[in-house]
Every structure is written in C-alpha cells, then in structure tokens.
Amino acid sequence: MEIETFPALRLPGLRHGFTTRSAGSLATLEDEMKESFRALGFPIDGAASGEQPHGNRITSVQRPGRVPDVDALSTATPGLPLLVRVADCGPVFFYDPVRRVIAVAHSGRKGTEGNIVGETVAHLERAHGSRAADVIVQLGPCIRPPHYEVDFAAEIGRQAARAGILQYHDSGRCTACDLGRYYSYRAEKGKTGRMWGALMLE
C-alpha cells in the first residue's frame, strides 16, 4: 500500500494522503492503512471519520471518532486528521489557507446528486467564515466513464464551480481503469477493499 499525494495540497501547514491498493489481505486493510499513515507522521489513531451513508450531510468536529449520519466533516483543529473511505466514490478534499480550516467529503452517486460539494462549501462559509474564492478543492481517484454510466467526477467539478470555487483540481484518475493500483467496487463486483484519504492541519 502506497500513499499518494496531490500537488495542489502539498502546502506548508497541511498534511494529506490517499492510499492505493494493498498487496496484502483484505482482512488487514485498515491496520495496513493506519501503519502507512503513521509512517508519514499522521496521528491516525486519533482521526475523525463520517459514517458515510451516501447522503449530503456535513458537520464540524473537534475530536476523534466516527460521526453518524454524515458524509463530510470539517475541522479547524490542528493535529486532528479527517478520514474519508472510498472504493469508486469521489474523495474530495477542501482546504481554506486563509481561515485555516479543512474538510473531506465522500461524493458517490447519491451524494453527488445531493450537491455534497456545494453543501460542504456552504458549510465552510457558514460555520468557519470561509470565502469560496479562498478554498482549494481536490478530487481524488474515482470511477469514471466508460466504466460507470454516471460521470459524477464531471458533476463534482460543476458543483465546485457553481459554489464559487476558483481553485479546483481533479486527479483525473479512474479507479476501475487501474485495478493494479486502486480498488473498484463496481469493476470487482463488490468483492473488493477500500482506500482512505486523510487530511490534517499541522
């Protein structure tokens, strides 16, 4: 399992990563994920994550733990990693360097239909005083046509633009196109693992 990073998020005071496919057992994936992030200095055992019920709800967190009923989390707390897990859905990372606040969102088909990216930007403005023009948004690897009939990656980009995001970045990577590197729930017909994205203020 490797940890990928994205050029747009390689910034002072910010730490991030996205796990690739593991060569090991599916049963040990979460342990391997934690070990990989620990090696990069993430206090990953003290991370916060959402339950991810495929909705569009978001909340702010100040402490570690699993949060029910949400697909996106935000925090202004340094040293608190936010985790998002995917296996085709879009992992979306948000960073406001002016207000020093971050968010992660799980944007699959239903979450995208619910405008989760727009909802997350609105939450950052409402809860943290962010300005959309200051927020950097990064979309990680996700399934894309022709492997999936819905191009939610393109819709995520449109949602970011409608929300006023000026700094939008798409990794352009397709999970189903490279099963040697990524997991794909759809391409592997549900018999697959998970990947994790992590974002933390230092």
Domain range annotation of the chain = 3-201
pLDDT at 110: 94
**CATH second-level architecture of 3-201?**
4-Layer Sandwich (3.60)
pLDDT at 23: 85
Q: Is the Cβ–Cβ distance between 11 and 192 less than 8 Å?
A: no
- 93-121 pLDDT, tens per residue? 999 999 999 999 999 999 999 999 999 99
- 142-152 pLDDT, tens per residue? 999 999 988 99
Residue 53 has pLDDT above 90, yes or no: yes
Q: What is the mean pLDDT of residues 12-31?
A: 93
What's the rounded Cα separation, in Å, for the pair 105 and 159? 13
pLDDT at 75: 98
Distances (CA, A) of 50 to 30, 73, 106: 15, 7, 9
